[in-house]
């Protein structure tokens, strides 16, 4: 199976107070960490929602402002045009995802119950996503997951989604305690 990985990095970081994609993690940024994390699990990596990225970037579809679905839609469109089978999506702000995320989420469509933006989306899910994006329905990842019949996957470990500086400090502290 040929998989395109996408780091969803188009958020405004309003609760964080600065660009959280650039926040420090393991001597690099959260963005660098996310790209490095995805690389061994997929065939290629893209970053959605920002132009300054360590790998090729994708503009959100159909336009900025649609949240994570804009990045997932852009990645699925790229995957379809380049003959990938699926997209593995992760957010830029979840630095401690399991190393076996790709295999855990396959076969898709599927997503993490604790973090719905982390998901495996076969290219066949593009049509229901485009329909959702162009409709007046809710533009949530859960609405998309429901529309395409995605399977929910639960992990037996905590997931840290970093929205504030305090969240980042808690994630660093948790990692120090467990490693």
Domains belonging to the chain, first-starting first, are 3-178 (3.90.550.10)
| Residue 168, annotated as binding a ligand | no
The string of DSSP codes covering 18-61 is S-GGGSEETTEEHHHHHHHHHGGGSSEEEEES-SS-SS-EE--S
- Cα–Cα separations (whole angstroms), residue 107 to 45, 49, 86, 119, 178: 19, 26, 10, 10, 30
The string of DSSP codes covering 102-136 is HHHH-SSSEEETTEEEEEEEEGGGHHHHHHHHTSS
| Residue 21, annotated as binding a ligand | no
| Residue 8, annotated as binding a ligand | yes
| Residue 65, annotated as binding a ligand | no
Give which of 135, 67, 130, 79 is closest to 108, Cα–Cα: 79
Cα 37 from chain centroid (whole Å):
12
| Residue 5, annotated as binding a ligand | no
Give which of 67, 64, 114, 71 is closest to 94, Cα–Cα: 114
* pLDDT tens digits along 44-102: 999 999 988 888 999 999 988 889 999 999 999 999 999 999 999 999 999 999 999 99
| Residue 145, annotated as binding a ligand | no
* pLDDT tens digits along 21-60: 888 888 899 999 999 999 999 999 999 999 888 889 999 9
């Amino acid at each position: 199976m040929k998989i395109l990985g996408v780091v969803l990095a188009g958020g405004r970081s309003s609760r964080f107070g600065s660009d959280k994609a650039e926040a420090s993690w393991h001597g690099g940024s959260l963005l660098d960490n996310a790209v490095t994390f995805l690389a061994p699990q997929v065939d290629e990596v893209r970053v959605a929602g920002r132009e300054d990225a360590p790998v090729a970037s994708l503009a959100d579809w159909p336009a900025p402002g649609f949240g994570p679905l804009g990045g997932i839609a852009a990645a699925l469109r790229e995957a379809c045009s380049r003959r990938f089978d699926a997209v593995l999506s992760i957010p830029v702000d979840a630095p401690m995802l399991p190393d076996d995320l790709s295999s855990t989420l396959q076969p898709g469509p599927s997503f993490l119950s604790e973090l719905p933006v982390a998901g495996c989306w076969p290219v066949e899910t593009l049509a229901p996503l485009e329909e959702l994006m162009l409709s007046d329905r809710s533009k949530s990842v859960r609405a998309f997951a429901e529309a395409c019949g995605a399977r929910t996957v639960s992990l037996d470990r905590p997931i840290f989604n970093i929205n504030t500086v305090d969240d980042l400090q808690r994630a660093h502290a948790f990692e120090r305690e467990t490693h």
